[in-house]
Amino acid sequence: MRTLIVLTLLAVLVVAATCYESRESMESHEYFNPFLNRRRASDFIQADTRLRAITQERIRERNKAHQEYQRELCEDYYPCEMYAFRHGYPAAYKHYFGRRRTK
């Protein structure tokens, strides 16, 4: 009977020693709320600046200036490009594509 009491006390001490929560684990916010907010989940990851630059370049390509669009159109047509070397791209565009009428 005495050994049973001693073994029970020893088992209680072992359980108390292994299940004890330290102060450091109680200070962690994850102990009380293990799930993160969606906004805070990726706070520690910095956005890739190269990816941002590529995205901005793609946006700029879609929204070209009117003169740039005219110049590219003129560069694709060889007679217009030759005329542009002598008289400039605005005059060449006007000469070859300015008379077009849209309905």
Lowest mean pLDDT among 26-30, 40-44, 64-68: 26-30
For the chain, what percent of residues have pLDDT higher than 70?
A: 65
Residue 31 lies in a domain: no
Residue 80 lies in a domain: yes
Range of the domain at 73: 65-102
Residue 87 lies in a domain: yes
Residues 77-86: pLDDT tens digits? Answer: 999 999 999 9
Residue 32 lies in a domain: no
> Would you list the DSSP string of 52-71?
HHHHHHHHHHHS--HHHHHH
Residue 75 lies in a domain: yes
Q: What value does the mean pLDDT of the chain take?
A: 78
- Report d(CA 53, CA 16) in Å as an integer: 57
| Count of domains for the chain | 1
Residue 96 lies in a domain: yes
Most confident of 14-23, 80-89, 94-103: 80-89
Residue 93 lies in a domain: yes
- Report d(CA 71, CA 65) in Å as an integer: 10
Residue 21 lies in a domain: no
Other CB atoms within 10 A of residue 35 CB:
7
Residue 87 has pLDDT above 80, yes or no: yes
